[in-house]
Structure 1
Amino acid sequence: MARTPARAMAAPLAAALLLMTGCAGAEPAAPAAAPVLAGGEIQLVDAPASSAGLTGDGRADEPAPAATTQSPTPAPSTAAADAAAPAKWVQLSVNQAAIGATVTDVTGFSLYSFAKDSADPPASQCTGECATSWPPVLIQPGGRVFVDGMQTDDVGAVRRPDGGVQVTIGGRPAYRFSGDTVPGELNGQGADGTWFAFAADGKPIDALISTAELKAAKPDRTGTLTAKDGKDGPIVVDDDGATLYRFDGDDTDPPASNCKGTCAVLWQPVVAKSGGKVKLKGIDEDRVWWLSRKDGTKHVTLDGSPLYRNVADSSTDTIIASAAVQGWTAAR
């Protein structure tokens, strides 16, 4: 599914680890491409996580790959414990945003570089309180990093001062921003003149940007709505298995979509792919209807609520818990 701009911005912005190839052990579910070891810390896979039958965000109870011959990871410090726990696997995806193609994690959250970090050799200078505001992208030793839309040569890993393994992009350690509350946001871009989103080529996007045109996301065209039990409870998904959402700000009697401006940039309206009704699996037909849009498409509704998909969410079977703060509820 084509990606669309994930956030509009109008603000001025201030201006490797060597990959060592080795043989990975046999995997129960072989991905589309054989993984290679990156510096003995991670396994790179040139394919999305779904190719290995993986869903979610890498923190499920899926067995971790066999560890390499590296020494055990030291016990993390208090500051590291405050950051996100190491994932069993990580996916790096490329999504289109107002500032260009950016790198996100599997759930669509933007990833950032820190200008004070070293890229050659890679080293993180963000510890303590910094790591709380900017959680490092951590992975268990020997874990797989699925690379979807960029070059595996741009991806590696580095040991942090606390002993944890952090994913690097273009040689620079990768971080998320605690101020991004839903996938696709870029609230950390240009912060303190030192934090910049990664471009698809692995370089920080630190060019001066004065304005960006606000463009609504293209509709999420789907042929089927499916009710299923996801990792976070019952959900309704589209053809791609992505969780669909309702917006608290919409009207339901009569149904009307009030998602406009920045909201419309981050959330795609779910429309019938063929222009007619969608097929239903596990959903009563009398719960589903649609709204006619100006472009002639039909915006699908569930119990009177228009349905949406987050534009940058690449995960399956997972609910964006933080979306509730902005009034978004997973469709059930």
Structure 2
Amino acid sequence: MRTRVAMLAALVATGVAALTACGGGSTAGTPSAAPAGGADAASSVNFLTGTAQQNGAPQNTGDFADPSDTEAAEQWVELDAGSAGDLNPVVLNGKGFLLYRFDKDSPKPPTSNCNDDCAKKWPPVTVKPGGKVFLNGVDRNDVGFLKRQDGSLQVTIGNWAVYRFSGDAQPGDTKGQGVQGTWFGVTPEGGKAEASKEGTDPTTGVQYKTGTAKENGADLTQGDDYKGPRTDDAAMKWIQLTRGSAGGLNPIVHDGAGMTIYRFDNDKPKPPTSNCNGDCAVKWPPLLVKPGTRIFVNGVPAAKIGVVTRADGSRQVTLNGWPLYRFSGDKNPGDINGEGVGGTWFAVSPNGGKVLPKGGAPAPSSTPPASSTTNPPSSTTPPPGGVTLGNGSAILDSGINFAEPKGSFGVAGPGCVANPQPSLVSSIQLSGGPVKLWKGPNCTGQSMVITASVPDLSKIGFDKQVVSIRFGDK
């Protein structure tokens, strides 16, 4: 322990990388609060944030495999939050087929009572030990497993066993909904799916429609895909709110163009109030609507969506009372450059909550609360998005829980630092954070801010994938 603490101190002082050849011991650190990623203790199933395609799953396996090829089919399962028909929110598999729950099963303890002929009509969603579950809008904390009569491992959501329906021929079919009064589409929390609120809200004049903009035939040169100012009428033709994931954060809400949606801690939900005006609203464009605007809901409960009048008279979409924004620093779908900015801006969850950075607690604010966001101190240079990074150091360990079966590496700022051997790093002990992890060289590619030590990088989707790390520049 003394050796490793001394090593951290030396790295901070010298700002150079060092290699240790220590044995397999471990060191206590601040645990990560990240819920997604890692292996389930009972089943050794690996959890990864994002879709199977985003994670490079092999073709003709998992949800895309021939059902008769059990070995290939059980390699992975994707749980994707969204909508199907008039049902919203629901869970779909990677191919877009609705997943169901059965009232005659039991959640306490999780038990399946659908076997033999029943299981042929309602194929259970199974995965083999050592397989993978890809989570896109479904919270890791709501996913589990049960052992079936035949010994196979069935996925549960909210402790309810989940199934497909053999009568659903096409992605998005809902033919199993309500069968025998016991079968229902499953929600991301394990509840029974219901038809979503649709039609025009008489108070706001905003129209609600279940599904995506594309599914509903919206003009994709307008709305979320519009390239001009967000205050233009064309930009307010439609908005899509989709439950999904981005940059290791899950579940979050993004729009129809795949851009992450944020909330601001200095706003208020009761009554809904936006305190981001002037220059702040230029940096963080609010989601604006007008009478006639269509809001497409895809995995986000329509009942939690509202509208608040802003200081300038425009009207802004809210989620569970929290006003919603985009971030001008996000340039591409899936960017999360606004996450943790100033310790007050966070990706919004499907229920209006804030999604914390994967290192655990939010980065502390470097400025007092204000109605507009200011620049961080000049003592460090923030990455795109404005998170103020620390000029500290990190020990990159080759085992989880800071063990060192193949040694460990020390790195330190300032600036972007290469990881000498990315394929060996499974945990990080951090001093003087936050820092930003990158999957590409020279701080490029997919990234994530961490604010504390991470004992298991697979829990945040970065196991053996940290290629470079950005510290503060000074």
TM-score normalised by the shorter chain: which range applies? 0.3 to 0.5
Higher relative contact order (CA 8 A, sep 6+): 1
TM-score, with normalisation over the residues of structure 1? 0.47
* Structure index of larger Rg: 2
